[in-house]
Structure 1
Amino acid sequence: MNRRDALNRVAVLMGGALSAPTMVALLEGCTTKDASAPFSLSADYQEIVAQFADIIIPATDTPGAKEVGVGPFIEMMIKDCYSDAQGEHFKKGLSLVEEKSKELGSSFTSLTNEQQIEVVKAMETEAANEAQKAKEEQIDPETGKVKEGSAAEEPVTPFFTLIKELTLFGYFTSEVGMTQELDYVPIPGRFEGCIPLKEGQKAYALG
């Protein structure tokens, strides 16, 4: 699968919208980073990422995000394909996840499934508030127009938005996602511009 096909798939899953950093990461690929300060997550944070992703795509009659290895995929993507600023913002998001979890009595990974879902929803609200604040900071209240120079540096993507994008991307480009959740055709035949869809037809995997 090439990057543009992957981008199109994730865009559909996200309702047509992707954050700018993710579009850059998928279309431009990985960049050389400062080797003195590589992005990495502690073992505790790695487990939180894996479990958080599993709340987004839990196991049903098919494996969930954690089982197919989405957690390590997310860490690899942020390390290799995102800016250092985005990586630090992601870590701050994980710290906030733990803060909200402690308010419920324990670390995120030790909470009940219902409590973990509560924390995930709280982070979704946090992301919406963060995005709204960033938007307001770019608008001149007197003119209602974007402030000059405000778009010179693209703001980092909120934690929840980024982890959701990468969870979907990682899951639906995995073997399980492509062959069990999507209708995978390993060797497509002739082009047919219009074909009937069966009831309950899965979306086709882009191979």
Structure 2
Amino acid sequence: MDAQRQGESMTMFAPSNILSIDRRTALAGFAAVFGSSLFAPLARAAGYEPIPKINTGKPAVVFTLPQRALVTALSERVMPTTDTPGAIAAGVPEYIEHMLGDWAIDDDRDLILGGLAALDARSMADYRKPALKASGTEQDALLTLAMNDRIPGGAEFFEAFRQLVVTGYFTSEVGITQERHYLPVPGDYDGAYPASKIDRIFSA
């Protein structure tokens, strides 16, 4: 699914703790990409929806160990390591659990947990092994089935999960400094910079 990375990277936004604006501001700018389909926890974190009671203590634990491992594996399938680091290196699995633990209500968490369970069930039916034990190619096939709504609740789960991965990645330090060319502001102005030298979107 690496082609998604190229498409999603066409939107400008700022990273988390390395620039002059914080991650919530970055998320608010990025969330416009998803429009009305924005997953509710992301909308709340971006300030677009009323905020429920927020966890202010220790980080909430949402996933069991197998669920956390599956989220980690699937996030890397959505945003894989190529010539730049992937979702795992960017801390996306931890970001997903944080968003679900601190910004989600039960229905939001149930959507993701139910989707993981549906993927597991389909993996057992198709490959006779849980989704975590499936190969990368098999996991891609499972995600494609979800995307095409060919497993129970698949399309809704896939869209929410994809949004979590993409926002987690592109608002991380890795996403902003390595997936994009980071240009601090103020920077040098070059009015004759050749377009042929641009291979990634610039971020400031």
TM-score over 0.5 for the alignment? yes
Aligned amino acid, residue 6 of structure 1: L
Q: Distance in 2 between matches of 1:178 and 1:19?
A: 21
C-alpha change, 1:20 and 1:94, in structure 2 (3 Å) is closer
Give the corresponding residue for 1:5.
26
Kindly indicate whether the alpha-carbon contact (under 8 Å) linking 1:18 and 1:165 is maintained by their aligned counterparts in 2: no
Aligned amino acid, residue 79 of structure 1: G
C-alpha change, 1:41 and 1:187, in structure 2 (3 Å) is same
Q: CA RMSD in A?
A: 3.2
What are the residue-to-residue correspondences of 1:52-131 with 2, within 5 Å?
52-103=74-125, 104-126=127-149
C-alpha change, 1:89 and 1:197, in structure 2 (3 Å) is farther
C-alpha change, 1:160 and 1:33, in structure 2 (3 Å) is same
Task: Map Cα deviations across residues 74-133 of structure 1 (whole Å, 9 max, x no partner).
Answer: 01111111222111221111111111111222111211111110001011112899599x
Task: Map Cα deviations across residues 4-29 of structure 1 (whole Å, 9 max, x no partner).
Answer: 432333544x5x66425132332258
Kindly indicate whether the alpha-carbon contact (under 8 Å) linking 1:39 and 1:84 is maintained by their aligned counterparts in 2: no
C-alpha change, 1:203 and 1:127, in structure 2 (3 Å) is farther
Q: Distance in 2 between matches of 1:17 and 1:197?
A: 37
Gaps of 5+ in 2: 1-20
1:198 pairs with 2:195: yes
Task: Map Cα deviations across residues 149-195 of structure 1 (whole Å, 9 max, x no partner).
Answer: xxxxxxxxx21111111101111111111111112123334899x88
Kindly indicate whether the alpha-carbon contact (under 8 Å) linking 2:122 and 2:151 is maintained by their aligned counterparts in 1: no
Aligned amino acid, residue 159 of structure 1: F
Q: TM-score, normalised by structure 1?
A: 0.71
Q: Distance in 2 between matches of 1:54 and 1:98?
A: 17
Kindly indicate whether the alpha-carbon contact (under 8 Å) linking 2:115 and 2:153 is maintained by their aligned counterparts in 1: no
Kindly indicate whether the alpha-carbon contact (under 8 Å) linking 2:118 and 2:152 is maintained by their aligned counterparts in 1: no
C-alpha change, 1:86 and 1:203, in structure 2 (3 Å) is same
Which stretches of structure 1, 4 residues or longer, exceed 4 Å deviation after superposition?
A: 127-132, 194-197
Deviation at 1:58, TM superposition (A): 0.6
SS at match of 1:89: helix
Aligned amino acid, residue 198 of structure 1: A
Q: Number of aligned residue pairs: give it.
A: 176
Deviation at 1:45, TM superposition (A): 0.3
Aligned amino acid, residue 117 of structure 1: D
SS at match of 2:195: coil
Gaps of 5+ in 1: 133-157
Aligned amino acid, residue 49 of structure 1: V
C-alpha change, 1:114 and 1:190, in structure 2 (3 Å) is closer
What are the residue-to-residue correspondences of 1:163-178 with 2, within 5 Å?
163-178=161-176
SS at match of 1:91: helix
Percent identity of equivalent pairs: 24
C-alpha change, 1:30 and 1:110, in structure 2 (3 Å) is same
